C-alpha cells in the first residue's frame, strides 16, 4: 500500500523543491509534510514526528556541499549523521513500523572509484572527504537499524544538476560566472578548478522522480535495500564548461583558481543503476542538453534579477 502521509526533510533545498511536483505526479493522493524544525534538535524532531505520525519519511536534509562540510566538519557530522540518527530514533519510538527513504550519496564510494569502472551497490564505501564520510556513516548506521520497527531504503544518487542549485557545485559555479560575463557584469575571465575529472551527472528532476517512485514502492522493496541513482555516462568537467560557453556564445579567458582545486579528486566516478532500473522501473529521461540549457537559463535569470 503506497504511503498516504509522508514526512519530508529538506523540502526547501535543491532536491526538495523538485520532489514536490514529482510526488504530486506519482502519488497524487499522498500528503507531503515538511519536517519544519532543527534536525539537530532530537526533542523537536521527535515532537514533529509524533505530531505528523507519517506512514513514510524521506530524508533529504544535509550539509550537501563538499566544501561546506569540509569547512565545518562538526556541523556536517551533527546534521548528516546525528540528525539522521535522531530522525530514525523518533520514527522507531513514535511510529514503529514506518518506512524511511534515506538519501545518501554516491560520493560515499570515494576511493572505490579508483578502478575507473561503474560501481554498483556492492562496492565498498570508502569516502575521501568529510561529506562522503558523514553520508557513509549514516548509510551504514541505518542499515544496522533496519528491522521490524523501521523499514529502510537507502538511495545513493550521483551528481545532480538542474535549475535552482547553489553555486557551491561545479556546474552551477560555471553557469553563474558565464551568466555574469554574458550580461556584461563581470570581466571576460572565468575561474575554474580541475577540469579533467569525469563525473556521472543526472538531472535533479529525474532524481526527484526516482525518489517519488521509491516512496510509491517502498513497502515492496526489501528492508535495507540500497539503490544507486546514476546515468552510467562519464562527463568531463571541462566539456561541461565548453558546452555552457557555446550556449552563451562567449569565449572568456579561463584561469585556474587554486581555491577550487581538490587534492583528493579522482579521475573518474561513474555509477551503475541497473538495480534501480529493475526495481523502480526508472531510468533518466531528461536529455543532458536540456539540463545544461535550463541551468544556464536559471542563472541568466538570477543574475538579471540580482537574486544570486
Hey, what's the cell of 45? 524532531
When pLDDT is cut at 50, 70 and 90, the band that residue 258 belongs to is: confident
pTM listed for this prediction: 0.96
Q: How buried is 104 (Cβ within 10 angstroms: 0-12 exposed, 13-18 middle, 19+ buried)? A: buried
What is d(CA 305, CA 308) in angstroms, rounded to the nearest whole number? 8
Query: Is residue 308 predicted with pLDDT exceeding 80?
Result: no
* Other CB atoms within 10 A of residue 46 CB: 18
Query: Is residue 307 predicted with pLDDT exceeding 90?
Result: no
Given a contact cutoff of 8 angstroms between Cβ atoms, the answer to whether 58 and 243 are in contact is no
Among 219, 1, 42, 228, smallest CA distance to 119 is for: 228
Query: Is residue 262 predicted with pLDDT exceeding 80?
Result: no
What is d(CA 136, CA 114) in angstroms, rounded to the nearest whole number? 17
Instruction: Please provide the average confidence, as pLDDT, over all residues in the chain.
Output: 96
- Mind listing the domains of the chain with CATH numbers? 5-161+201-229 (3.40.50.720), 170-197+234-269+286-305 (3.90.25.10)
Mean pLDDT over 139-160 rounds to 98
When pLDDT is cut at 50, 70 and 90, the band that residue 306 belongs to is: confident
Query: Is residue 32 predicted with pLDDT exceeding 80?
Result: yes
Give the model's pLDDT for residue 261. Answer: 80
Query: Is residue 103 predicted with pLDDT exceeding 70?
Result: yes
At 23, is the secondary structure helix, strand, or coil?
Answer: helix
At 211, is the secondary structure helix, strand, or coil?
Answer: helix
Give the model's pLDDT for residue 72. Answer: 97
* Other CB atoms within 10 A of residue 58 CB: 31
Give the model's pLDDT for residue 305. Answer: 87
User: How is the chain split among helix, strand and coil, in percent rounded to 5?
Assistant: 50, 20, 35
- Terminal CA-to-CA distance of the chain, rounded, Å? 42
Tell me: the pLDDT tens digits for 187-244?
Answer: 999 999 999 999 999 999 999 999 999 999 999 999 999 999 999 999 999 999 999 9
* Other CB atoms within 10 A of residue 145 CB: 18
When pLDDT is cut at 50, 70 and 90, the band that residue 9 belongs to is: very high
What is d(CA 138, CA 240) in angstroms, rounded to the nearest whole number? 31
Give the model's pLDDT for residue 264. Answer: 65
Given a contact cutoff of 8 angstroms between Cβ atoms, the answer to whether 237 and 195 are in contact is yes
Tell me: the pLDDT tens digits for 79-97?
Answer: 999 999 999 999 999 999 9
The residue count of the chain comes to 308
Tell me: the pLDDT tens digits for 113-133?
Answer: 999 999 999 999 999 999 999
Given a contact cutoff of 8 angstroms between Cβ atoms, the answer to whether 294 and 163 are in contact is yes
Query: Is residue 73 predicted with pLDDT exceeding 90?
Result: yes
What is d(CA 225, CA 143) in angstroms, rounded to the nearest whole number? 9
Pairwise pLDDT comparison (305 vs 262), residue with the higher score: 305
Amino acid at each position: 500500500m503506497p504511503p498516504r502521509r509522508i514526512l519530508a526533510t529538506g523540502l526547501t533545498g535543491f532536491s526538495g523543491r523538485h520532489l514536490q511536483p514529482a510526488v504530486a505526479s506519482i502519488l497524487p493522493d499522498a500528503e507531503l509534510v515538511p519536517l519544519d524544525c532543527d534536525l539537530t534538535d532530537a526533542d523537536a524532531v521527535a515532537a514533529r514526528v509524533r505530531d505528523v505520525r507519517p506512514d513514510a519519511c524521506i530524508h533529504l536534509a544535509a550539509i550537501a556541499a563538499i566544501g561546506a562540510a569540509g569547512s565545518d566538519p562538526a556541523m556536517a557530522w551533527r546534521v548528516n549523521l546525528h540528525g539522521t540518527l535522531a530522525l530514525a530514533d523518533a520514527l522507531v519510538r513514535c511510529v514503529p513500523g514506518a518506512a524511511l527513504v534515506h538519501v545518501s550519496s554516491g560520493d560515499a564510494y570515494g576511493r572505490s572509484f579508483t578502478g575507473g569502472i561503474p560501481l554498483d551497490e556492492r562496492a565498498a564505501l570508502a569516502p575521501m572527504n568529510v561529506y562522503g564520510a558523514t553520508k557513509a556513516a549514516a548509510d551504514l548506521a541505518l542499515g544496522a537499524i533496519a528491522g521490524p520497527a523501521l523499514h529502510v531504503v537507502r538511495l545513493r544518487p550521483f551528481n545532480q544538476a538542474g535549475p535552482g542549485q547553489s553555486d557551491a557545485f561545479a556546474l552551477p559555479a560555471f553557469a553563474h560566472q558565464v551568466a555574469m560575463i554574458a550580461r556584461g557584469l563581470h570581466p571576460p575571465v572565468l575561474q575554474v578548478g580541475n577540469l579533467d575529472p569525469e563525473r556521472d551527472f543526472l538531472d535533479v528532476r529525474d532524481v526527484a522522480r526516482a525518489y517519488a517512485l521509491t516512496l510509491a514502492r517502498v513497502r515492496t522493496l526489501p528492508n535495507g535495500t540500497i539503490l544507486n541513482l546514476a546515468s552510467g555516462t562519464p562527463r568531463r568537467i571541462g566539456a561541461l564548461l565548453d558546452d555552457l560557453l557555446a550556449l552563451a556564445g562567449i569565449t572568456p579567458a579561463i584561469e585556474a583558481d587554486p581555491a577550487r582545486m581538490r587534492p583528493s579528486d579522482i579521475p573518474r566516478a561513474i555509477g551503475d543503476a541497473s538495480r534501480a532500473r529493475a526495481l523502480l522501473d526508472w531510468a533518466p529521461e531528461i536529455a543532458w542538453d536540456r539540463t545544461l540549457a535550463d541551468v544556464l537559463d536559471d542563472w541568466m535569470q538570477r543574475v538579471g534579477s540580482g537574486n544570486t
